[in-house]
Each structure stands twice: as C-alpha cells, then as structure tokens.
Amino acid sequence: MKTMMAPFVLSSIAFLFSSSVYAVPALKLNLDQTTVSGLSSGGYMAAQFQLAHADWVKGAAIVAAGPVYCAQNNLMTALDHCINKVGSPIPLADINKQLKDWSVQGLLASEAQIKQSKIWLLHGTADQKISKEVADALHQQYQQWLPAAQLSYVQDKNFAHHMPTLAEGSACDTSEAPFLGKCNYDAAGEALKFIQAGLKAPSNTSDGKVYPIEQQTIAGDLADTMAEQGYVYVPKNCEQGQSCSLHISFHGCNQHAEAVGMAYVEKAGFNRYADSNNIVVLYPQTRASNLMPMNPQACWDWWGYTDANYANRKGLQIQAVVKLAQSLQSR
C-alpha cells in the first residue's frame, strides 16, 4: 500500500507547493449569474447555498443528495431518513414550512427568486449511499417551487455513488476514492447545459490554471470548519481581463483535497467548460475533524455540526463561501 500511495501523495504535495507561490490574478467577475454544484454532502450544501442566495445564485446541479433541511439540525434524524434508508417518513411538509418561514424572515431568498432558478438532479440506480426514496424527496421538494421546464431529474443511469465522468475515476458501478466514476457520461456538462443558458461546447485542451486561495484568511472564524486552502480554476480568458461568471462546486464526503489530492478539482469535468465559456470555478474545501465538531469524513454541514443555522444565510459555511466568492470579485 505504501508503494502505491507514495507517488500519488508526493505528486499532490508537489502540486500544492508549486501552486502556492501564485496569487489569484485580478478578475472581472460577475456574480449575478453564479451557479453551484455538488456531490453527496456537497449536493446538500449546493442546494442549501442556492436557496439561501437565489437572488444571485441562479442554478444548482445536485448529485446524490436528499431534500434541503432533511436532517432538521439532528444527526440521528439524518441517519434515520436522509442517507441510505428511510426508517421513518421524511416530513416534507414540516421541512418546507420551516424553509418558507426562513424565506419570510430573509434567511433564504424570496419564493419569487427561488422560482426563477434552474435545478438539475441526478441519482444513480446503483447508488447504495443515498436511497432513491431520499433523492425522490428532493425532487418532490423542488416541484413545489419550480415550473417543470426549470427542473430536470436524471434517475435512469446505472451509476454508483460518485460524480459520473466520461473517462475519469473508478468503474461506474463502484463507489471508491476519489469518487469519480468512469461512466462515459459527462455529468458536469449535462448539468451546466441545463443550468447555464447558451453553454458552448467544452474545450479540447485546458489553458487555465488552478490557484490556491486562503479560505481561513479570507473568511476568518466563519471558515473554522473548513480547510486552510481552497482552490479556484481560472481560464486564460478570465486571467487576461475578460468578464467572467462564477461556478462553485462542492466536493463530497472523503473527497476533499487532503484525502484525494486534486482529483475532484481537476477531473470532475467542470474546467473543460470553464475554458470555453469564461467561467471561473471555485472549489471550496472542508477538513476532517474528530472532535468539535465530529466530522471525520470532511462532509459539508447538512445536519447541523456547525450550528442550527447551517442551512440558511446565517450558516457559517454558507457565509464563508460567500466571502470567498466576493474576494474573487474584488481582486
């Protein structure tokens, strides 16, 4: 095992060291048409973030996740009916009432703003980590808010629990690190085509760069449960001063850079479209912790390990990622 892992670890360390000497260039970034995506806990986070800020975050692509606020600030509830089983019914009516109350209080975007969103959902038939009943509940949740033309649900593909790609990662019917699936399916592209108007074909070659960003320096205490560094992919056109939009992609549990190196950042599929569509891609990162909070798999907070506001605008991680986005705009 040591012999197999050493080259991967060393190459990741070498990348991080070589990248750290470069500062993110000045960017002309228009945040008004921002989109987000995420896998598993990152899917939960993408949905939370988009609902919180649908006034400027116009769409979300969510892979293998359940309804927003499914856990209702309780880990045992999360384990009971928000992952791979539904031990008790998911109380969608109660959950949606809480979300409506937050919207009225200004803790989520208004219902009118949410109604303008475009949402793309994916659940694989071989996924054993998130049950279809849980994924279906997310689809049902969005059906109450969105016109049918603005909601897409892909549920007929034999994908395991991972981010499906054209040719990156493990076998399509397995779920293992780095949780990319070699499925001959461009999930990133299919998602972006739906949530971003007028998307151009992907670039055949990458001309952009991945830069580290100092998350805890930028966001301060808000980023205490996040890694010191996140990453941002900047296409050459954006680096040279063209106006660009932003896409934020949230990794899944056990998929942060400390665990899988740059696999998700470089190979999930979004960067190919970023080059040809003038999109800067932000890849925020969590960190693993065993105590205060208990988050050994470096998941995004979708059950309340930061505080009770984790799923609205006051959520610490949501606020931190907003600051990361704004910092890119101000550079």
Asked if 285 and 229 touch (Cβ cutoff 8 Å), the reply is yes
Question: What does the pLDDT read at residue 22?
Answer: 65
The answer to whether the pTM exceeds 0.75 is yes
Burial per residue of 139-174, b for 16 or more beta-carbon CB atoms within 10 angstroms, e otherwise: bebbeebbeeebbbbbeebebbbbbbbbebbbebee
Active site residues: 40, 127, 161
Average pLDDT across each block of 10 residues of the chain; the chain has 331 residues. List them in order: 35 40 86 97 98 98 98 97 96 98 98 98 98 98 97 98 98 97 98 96 90 98 98 97 97 98 98 97 97 95 98 98 94 65
Amino acid at 290: N
Helix axes 132-143, 92-104, angle to 10 degrees: 40
The H-assigned helical ranges of the chain are 2-19, 41-52, 75-81, 92-104, 111-114, 132-143, 187-195, 215-219, 236-239, 257-260, 263-267, 270-277, 316-330
Q: Please give the Cα distance from 178 to 70 (Å, whole number).
A: 26
